[in-house]
Chain A
Amino acid sequence: MKLTVNGKVHQVTEEQSRMKLLRYLREVLNLTGAKKGCGIGICGTCSVLVDNEVKAGCQTTVAEVAYKEIVTIEGFHAKDGGLHPLQQAFIDHGAIQCGFCTPGMVLTAHAFLLKHPNPTREKIRSAITGNLCRCTGYQQIIDAIEAAAVYYQNVPISEQ
C-alpha cells in the first residue's frame, strides 16, 4: 500500500495501514504539525487535507486514504517554499495564540477558500465551526481568513 504525504510517496506496511492517520503522521513520519486535541474528531486540531478535503487525522485510518494525496501543515506553503499568504494573514491578524490549533485551522481555512474564494464573514464562521480554539475569541481568525480570501480570488487554483 502506498500513501502520498506532501508530495512524497511512502510504502505502508500492513500494520501501519491499520493505524490512525494522525498517529502514522506523528510517529512514523515524524510530522508533528498535526496535533491530537480531543481524539474523537470534534476539535479539528488534527485536521489534514486528503485530496483537498479536510479530514480528522484521529478518525481516519491510513488504509482509508491510501493512494490519495495527503497534505499536512508541513507541506503547506507558497510555491516558492515561503509562507503562504493565508499563513501570513494568520500572523498579521494575530490569529495565533498558543499555536496548538493553528495547523488544523490553517488547513481547514485553505480547503474552504479553495471552494469559496468570496466568503462572507458568516460563511467563514460556518466553515470553521469544526475547529475549536481555546485561546482566541475567533475574531482574529475570521479577520485572517477574510483578508487571505483576496489571494484566492486573484490567483488561479492551479497556483494556489
Chain B
Amino acid sequence: MAVKDIKKLSLETLAQEQQRPTADEAIRLHVKGESRFICDEPKPERLHYATVVVSPYAHARIKQIDAETAKQIDGVVGVFTWRDIPGENELGIKIKDEPLLPENIVSYIGQPVAVIVAATPAIAERACQAVSVDYEVLEPILTIERARAKNSLLAPEFGLSAGDTEKGFAESDYVLEGVITSCAQEHLYFETQRVRAIPGEGAEMLLQSSTQSPSEVQTLAARVLGVDRKDITVDVKRLGGAFGGKESAAGLWSCLAALVCYHLKLPIELKLSREQDMAWTGKRHPFESSFKVGFDKAGRIHAYAVEFDADGGACADLTMAIMQRAVLHAENAYHIPNIKVLARPLKTNIAPNTAFRGFGAPQGVFVIESVIQRIARKLGKDPLEIRKLNAYQEQDGAPYGQQLHEANVLPLLERLEEHTDYQVLKEKVREFNRHQRFIKRGIGIVPVKFGISFTTPFLNQGSALVHLYADGSVSVSHGGIEMGQSVNTKVARIVAAEMGVPLQRVKIESHNTKRTANTSPTAASTGADINGNAARNAAREIIDRLRPLAVQLLERKYGHAAKRILFENGYAFSADAPQERLTLRELAVQAWQSRIDLSAHGYYSTPRLNFDWETGRGTPFSYYVYGCGLVVAEVDLLTGYVTLKEAHLIHETAQTVDERVDRGQIEGAFIQGVGWCIFEEVVYDSQGKNLTESLTTYKIPAIGDIPEKWSIEMIQAEREFAGVKGSKAVGEPPFLYGEAAFFAVKDAIESIWDYTIEADLRMPATPESVLRAIDSVSNKRA
C-alpha cells in the first residue's frame, strides 16, 4: 500500500471530536446495555453452578460433614470440602490465618465449609440444604469490648509517637478524655461477588473474577491448587462497583470456583445473591477509640494520645494495613507537636472486615475531628476557629517525619469560609433555630489531608503493555481495574496525549495476568497514578522509536530538514512546519515495514517512598490531597429525619486528567461518606448474625438524600508534589467530607438547648440515633 493512498483523517472531524467531552468506548457500551460484566459473557458450553454451604454459627467446631444425601440429588455433580484442596489451604497473605475451607473451626457466620456444584443454580441451592454439618458450638467474641477484655488480637498492637505527650498534657490548660466510636459500612457494590472458572488444556485455568486484585487471585488460586501462577490466568474486564470490597475479599470466592473447576474440569459460575453477599462478607472496620487531648486557652492542641481498637473480624485480611492508614491519619490536617497513637487489631467472630474507600483514614480522622468539636465546646469557641488555629502550615512535618510541602489546609478553610459566607450562614442557621421549635439546623465542617500511596511501599508500582497497530490504532493493557472510577478513561487520555492519537483510537483492554503481571491491587486511590505513568512510559518509548523515521519520511516527503517532531491529533510533524505532516497511520505502516518494534511494556515505581514501622519514621506518601467540606443539615426533632440543606466542597485535584471524572468521584465519594455517617447501619444479633442483609433493612443514600444546594470547587493549581501529569488522586479523599454531615446533625441537635449540652449522638446518625441523642440531652437536663 502506497503511503499516499492511506486515507487521511480530516482535521475538522478531529477538531469536532476534541470539542465534545469524549468518553472511552466502554461508556457508550454502558449506556446501550452492551457492556459485559463478569458472568454477562455468553455461557460456555456445559456451564455448571457452584454454591456454598456456610457456617450458621459464629464460632464452632466442625464434627462431621455429611453430604451423601446432597450427592444423590439429580443434577449435582460434586460436593467439595477442605479434604479436596490439593495445595495449601490458606488465603492469608502476610498473616496466614484464613483457610479456604476450614478443617476444624468455623469462625464467623457465613464462612464457607463446603462447595456444591450442580447443573443449575436452583439444584445447587437445594443440595446445600441437604448437606448436614454437625457442629459443637463454641463461645463467640462479637464485640470490640469483649475482644479487648479477652485480649483477642489478629496481630500485635503497634503505633507511632512524636514529641512527649506526658509533657504536653502537663503544659496544657485543659485535658479532655473520651471514647469515640465509628460504625461498620456495607460496600453494596451493585455487582455482587462473582467469578467464572473455565478450564483449559492441561493445568490451564481461566478465572474471570470480579476482583480489584487479579494478581492476588492468581497467587491464591495457584497456592490452593498447588500449581504455578503461569497455569492460572485471571482476566477482568470491569467491575460493577467495588469500593475496596473486592480487594482481598474476592480471593475466597475465586479460589472456591477454581477448586471445583480443578476437580471437575467444567466451566463453573459462582455468584452470590445480594442477601448472601451482605450476610457473609466483611465490611468497613468499626472503631472504638479512646483519646486524651491537652490544649491551651486559645484552643491550640499541645498533646494528643489516641488508641484505636478496630473490629477486624475473624481473620487478619487487610486489617493491619487499614489500621496503619488510620494511624498515619490520626492527626488529620492538624499540627500536633506531641502525639502518641496506638492501634489494636482485634479479632472477633464476624466476617473478616476489609478494605473500604478511605481504608482506615475516615475512622482515624473521625476521632480527631470529634476531639476538635469537644475542644471548641469546652472553650465556647467556634470549631472552625479551633480547626484554623491548629491547621498544618506550609512546611510542617507530619508526626512520622514526612515534610508536608504545599500544605494548604488554612487557605482552603479560609476559602470555604469566604465562599459560604460562613459568619452570615451561621447567623442564618441560628436565626432559623430560634424560630423553629421542631426543626433545627446545624453546620459541620471537616478539612482533609489524605496521603497518597500504598502504606506498604513495595505495592507502589504499575505496569502496562502498549501496542501501536500498523493502522495507527492503539491497544493498552494496564495493571489497573476499571470499577467505575474511570481509570480506563484516564489511562486512555494519557496514552492518547502521549502518542498524539485521537482518544477514539485508543482501546483499553481487559486486565489480564498474561499481559500485565505481578500487579498491585487497584486501591489506595493510586490506580491512575501508577498505571497511568506506566502506560505513559510505554507510549513514550514507542513514540521515541518512531521519531527518527518521522524525520526521514518528512524530509523525503517535503524536501527539507525536519527538526523537533511533535505528535498531535493523529499526525507527526516538525514543530516549525505543522502543516507538513504525516499521519500516524502512514508512519506506523512504514515503521512496521522497517522492522521497528511497535509494542512496549511500561513500568513505573513511585519514587522517594520509604517507611519503617519499627521506628515509625519515613516517607510513606508520595504527596497529599487537601480539601475541606461544609454541610448544613436539617433535623426533624419529632421523627429524627435528616435532610441535607447545603454542601460545599473545596477539593484539590491539581491538574486533573479528566475534570468530569474527578467531579464524579468527588460527588460520589462524598455521598458515600454521608451514607456511612448518617444513613447506613449494619446490625448483628447477639449470636453474630447480620440482620441487615438486604436493601429492606440497610439504607444507602438515594437521589432524594443528596444536598438540596451543592457546590464543588476543584482547585486545579499546579503542584510540585502530585501524581500522573500533575494531577492528584481522587478516589478516596472526598469520602471524608461526609463526616461534616455528622457534625452538622450533632450541631442541629445541640441547638435545642442553645448549645449548652453535648448530645450523645452515635454514628450512624440515623433517625433512631438522632432520637436517642435528643433523649440523652433531655435526660441530662432532667
B609 within 8 A of A: no
B694 near A38 with CB under 8 A, answer: yes
- Which residues of A in the span 69-108 have a Cβ within 8 Å of any Cβ on B? 72-74, 76-77, 83, 87, 90-94, 96-103, 106
Asked if A151 lies at the interface with its beta carbon under 8 angstroms from chain B, I say: no
Main SS of chain A's interface residues?
loop
C-alpha spacing A140/B32, complex, angstroms: 18
- Best-buried of B27, B483, B694, B702 by chain A (most CB within 10 Å): B702
CB-CB < 8 A to B664: which residues of A? 94, 97, 135-137, 140
Partner of B710, one of A32, A34, A100, A139: A139
Task: Name the interface residues of A99-152: CB closer than 8 Å to any CB of B.
Answer: 99-103, 106, 125-126, 128-129, 131-142
Chain A residue at minimal CB-CB distance from B41: A32
B188 touches A134 (CB 8 A): yes
**Number of A positions contacting B (CB below 8 A):** 51
Interface flag for B660 (CB, 8 Å): yes
B42 touches A96 (CB 8 A): no
With a cutoff of 8 Å between Cβ atoms, the chain A residues found around residue B33 in the complex are: 31-34, 72-74, 76, 102-103
Find out whether the CB atom of B31 lies under 8 angstroms from the CB atom of A96.
yes
Question: Interface readout for A13-24 with B: 1 if CB under 8 Å, 0 if not?
Answer: 000000000000
Contact among B26, B274, B670 with A37 in the assembled complex (CB-CB below 8 Å)? B274
Q: Is A65 an interface residue (CB 8 A)?
A: no
Which residues of B, 319-372, contact A by the 8 Å Cβ criterion?
none
The answer to whether A98 and B190 have CB atoms under 8 Å apart is yes
Contact A132 B702 (CB under 8 A): yes
Chain A proximity of B545: nearest CB distance (Å): 35
Partner of A135, one of B40, B273, B668: B668
B40 cross-chain contacts in A, Cβ below 8 A: 32
Could you say which residues of chain A place their CB within 8 Å of the CB of B706? 125, 137-139
Q: Contact: B27 with A99, CB < 8 Å?
A: yes
In the complex the two chains form, is A97's CB within 8 Å of B37's CB? no
Q: In the complex, which of the residues A100, A126, A139 contacts B37, with contact meaning CB atoms closer than 8 Å?
A: A100
Asked if B667 CB lies within 8 Å of chain A CBs, one says yes
Question: Do A38 and B663 have beta carbons less than 8 Å apart?
Answer: no
B78 on the A face (CB < 8 A): no
CB-nearest residue of chain B relative to A124? Answer: B703
Interface presence of A40 (CB below 8 A): yes
Candidates B35, B485, B667, B695; contact of A43 at CB < 8 Å: B695
**Nearest B residue (CB) for A94:** B660
Q: Closest B-chain residue to A136, C-beta based? A: B668
CA distance A129 to B705 in the complex (A): 9
CB pair B31 A134 closer than 8 Å? no
Q: Return chain A residues, CB-CB under 8 Å to B559.
A: none
Is B190 a contact partner of A37 (Cβ separation < 8 A)?
Answer: yes
Bound CA span A133–B664, Å: 12
Contact in complex: B704, A97 (CB < 8 Å): no
Chain B positions within 8 Å of A, measured between CB atoms, are 20-21, 23, 26-37, 40, 42, 188-191, 238-241, 243, 273-275, 483-486, 660-661, 663-664, 666-668, 670-672, 694-696, 700, 702-704, 706, 710
Q: List 9 A-B contacts (CB under 8 A).
A: A38-B274, A40-B694, A74-B32, A91-B27, A97-B668, A100-B190, A126-B704, A129-B704, A132-B700
